[in-house]
Structure formats: structure tokens, C-alpha cells
């Protein structure tokens, strides 16, 4: 199964891990066969901390995606998608937090992705 590694702000990582964040918002859609996100918490954590299943992907205008989702402030959402015609929201399912966070090297990756990279099983 193909997975994608996402760099995510630690504040949002905590909300994913505790189940309060149900969507991960992006400006670019990954390949449709990706079913899992590997979570890399950015600075100051800088560790791979878990993974989450993707149960649905919404791709539409920012206005429509906002109507169908929740989890972040409208101000943050509007700023993130400013001047964008398309918004992507990954609906998050089952979350697995790793007992011991991993380094990028532990999973064979040499750098933190700006957006995402694919990881093959």
C-alpha cells in the first residue's frame, strides 16, 4: 500500500493524534491510491510520530470544502487558500500513535518534505 509522508505543525499533529482534527487540508492532491498518511511533526519535534487512515478525499473550491469540513478556524482556512481555486481535504480515520517516535532516517527518508512524499510498503 502506498502511503504519503506529510510535514505537519506540532499543534495540528496533537489535534490529529487526540482525534479532534478530522481533516487535513492541502493545496495539492496526492495520487488516489494513497490510503494512509505518515505524520512527521515539524520543528521543534522533528519526528515521525504516527499514521492515520484516509477515509475520504474532498477536492473542490475552497468555499465548498469549507462547507463540508471542520477543524480549523475560518480565518486560518481563508488565509491558507487565499487566491486558490482548488482546496483538498483528507478526511482522517483511524489514528495510530507510535510508542517511540521515529526519525526520518528510520523510514528511509533523508529530508522533511515541503508538501508530501510517497512511501512504499
CA distances to 100, 101, 105, 120 from 88, in Å? 30, 27, 28, 22
Tell me the pLDDT of the chain averaged across its residues: 95
Residue with cell string 487566491: 83
**Tens digits of residue pLDDT in 11-61:** 999 999 999 999 999 999 998 899 999 999 999 999 999 999 999 999 999
Which structural domain, as residue segments, surrounds residue 109?
2-120
The CATH number covering residue 113 comes to: 2.30.130.30
Please return the burial class of 43, using the count of CB atoms within 10 Å of its CB with bins 0-12, 13-18 and 19+: exposed
d(CA 15, CA 106): 24
Asked whether residue 82 carries a pLDDT value surpassing 80, the answer given is yes
d(CA 29, CA 59): 8
Q: What share of the chain is helix, strand, coil (3-state, %, to 5)?
A: 20, 45, 35
Asked whether residue 121 carries a pLDDT value surpassing 80, the answer given is no
**What is the count of structural domains for the chain?**
1
Query: Looking at residue 67, what is its pLDDT?
Result: 96
pTM as predicted = 0.92
Amino acid at each position: 500500500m502506498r502511503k504519503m509522508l506529510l510535514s505537519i505543525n506540532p499543534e495540528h499533529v496533537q489535534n490529529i493524534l487526540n482525534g479532534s482534527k478530522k481533516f487535513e487540508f492541502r493545496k495539492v492532491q496526492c495520487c488516489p491510491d494513497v490510503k494512509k498518511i505518515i505524520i512527521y511533526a515539524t520543528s521543534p519535534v522533528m519526528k515521525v510520530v504516527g499514521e492515520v487512515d484516509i477515509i475520504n478525499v474532498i477536492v473542490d473550491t475552497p468555499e465548498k470544502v469549507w462547507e463540508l469540513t471542520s477543524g480549523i478556524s475560518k480565518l486560518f482556512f481563508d488565509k491558507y487558500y487565499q487566491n486558490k481555486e482548488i482546496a483538498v481535504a483528507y478526511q482522517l480515520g483511524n489514528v495510530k500513535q507510535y510508542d517511540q517516535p521515529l526519525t526520518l532516517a528510520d523510514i528511509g527518508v533523508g529530508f522533511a518534505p515541503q508538501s508530501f512524499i510517497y512511501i512504499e510498503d
